[in-house]
Amino acid sequence: MGALTIAIPSKGRLKEACDAWFADAGLVIEQVAGARGYRAAFSGLPGIDVMLLSAGEIAASLLEGDVHLGITGEDLLREAAPELDSRMHLVCPMGFGFADVVVAVSQYWIDVSTMADLDDVCAAYAARHRRRLRVATKYAQLTRGFFAHAGIIDYRIVPSAGATEGAPAAGTAEVIVDITTTGATLRDNGLKILDDGVILKSQAQLAASLTADWSPQARAACDALLSRLSAKAGGALYPALAARFK
C-alpha cells in the first residue's frame, strides 16, 4: 500500500484521456498484478497507489477522505459537496471532459427564455394546478442552489435515474436540469437551454481531499507527483495545496 492514493476513472473516454494526460507528463500507469482490475501504479514513481473507480465513486471517495487525490468531473464534485471549498481543493483543471450543467425547458415555451420567466411559470403553475412544477434531474444539490439564487421556490425535484432529457415528453416533469456538451440531445428532444440557465461549466478536475489522512509520507509523495505534473499544468501545484493544510 502506498503512502498516497489517487483515484482515476476506470473506463471510457475519461480514463483514456487521463492515461494520455499522465503519459504526456512522463508518467505511465501500469496495472498492479493480482489487483483484479481496480489497482494500478505509476511506473518509476513509488509510494503512490492508483485506484480505478467510477466517476461518481471518485467524487464520493474524495468527500469521505478515502483517497487523497482524484480526477473526475467538477459537476460531480460540486454535486457531492455543495460546501466544496471546505472539503476539497481543486488542484488543476485537466483540459478534457468538458460539459455544462443547464436548465432546459420545452422549445414550445416561447415566452420562457430566462430564469425570471421560469419563476413566473412556476408561480402560475402552482396557482393553477395546486401542485408545484416538476424539475427532473440527477443534480439535486446544484439545482437547489441555483434556483434559490434565482429566487425560485415554487417547484419540486423529481430524481432522474435514466435519460433526463426524456422526462418532459414522458410526462414525468416539466423542466430538466442536465449535463450537455453540444446541446444536440436536448434539441432532439424538443428542449432549449434558458439564456441564463447554465449552472456550471464543468470539466475534469484533479482534486485533493482535505479530509483524508495527510501523513508526512502522503504529503511527500504528493509533492513528488505534483512536481512532475506542474510543468504540464502550467505552474507549481503543491504549494497551493500545502497552504490549505495550514
Taking only the tens place, the pLDDT of each residue in 165-192 is: 999 999 999 999 999 999 999 999 999 9
Q: What is the DSSP string of 1-16?
A: --SEEEEEE-SHHHHH
Residue appearing with cell numbers 460539459: 99
Same domain, 158 and 239: no
**How much is the mean pLDDT over the chain?**
93
Number of domains in the chain: 2
Res 100 pLDDT > 80: yes
Same domain, 55 and 171: no
Please, which residues have CB within 8 angstroms of residue 198's CB and are 6 or more apart in sequence? 100, 101, 102
Taking only the tens place, the pLDDT of each residue in 111-129 is: 999 999 999 999 999 999 9
Res 239 pLDDT > 90: no
Same domain, 10 and 79: yes
The residues that bridge with 72 in the sheet, in sequence order, are: 205
Tell me the residue ranges of DSSP E strands in 74-138.
88-93, 99-106, 133-137
Same domain, 170 and 196: yes
Residue appearing with cell numbers 473526475: 72
Same domain, 234 and 154: no
Same domain, 156 and 39: no
Measure Cα distances from 135 to 46, 173, 229 in Å: 48, 6, 41
Same domain, 93 and 104: no
Measured at the alpha carbon of residue 13, what is the angle toward residues 146 and 9, in degrees to the nearest 5?
A: 75
Same domain, 23 and 85: yes
Structure confidence at residue 136 (pLDDT): 98
Residue span of the structural domain in which 89 resides: 4-97+204-244
As given in the structure block, the three cell numbers for residue 177 are 436540469
* N residues, the chain: 246
Rounded CA separation 180/201 (Å): 10
Same domain, 118 and 178: yes
Taking only the tens place, the pLDDT of each residue in 69-84 is: 999 999 999 999 888 8
Residue appearing with cell numbers 420567466: 117
Same domain, 161 and 127: yes
Specify the higher pLDDT residue, 235 or 19.
19
Structure confidence at residue 33 (pLDDT): 63
Taking only the tens place, the pLDDT of each residue in 196-233 is: 999 999 999 999 999 999 999 999 999 999 998 988 77
Question: What is the torsion angle, in degrees rounded to the nearest 10, for the CA atoms of residue 149, residue 155, residue 157 and residue 163?
Answer: -100
CATH number of the structural domain spanning residue 123: 3.40.190.10
Confidence class for position 14, pLDDT limits 50, 70, 90: very high
Are the C-beta atoms of 215 and 176 separated by less than 8 Å? no
Rounded CA separation 12/174 (Å): 32
Rounded CA separation 245/213 (Å): 11
Res 35 pLDDT > 60: no
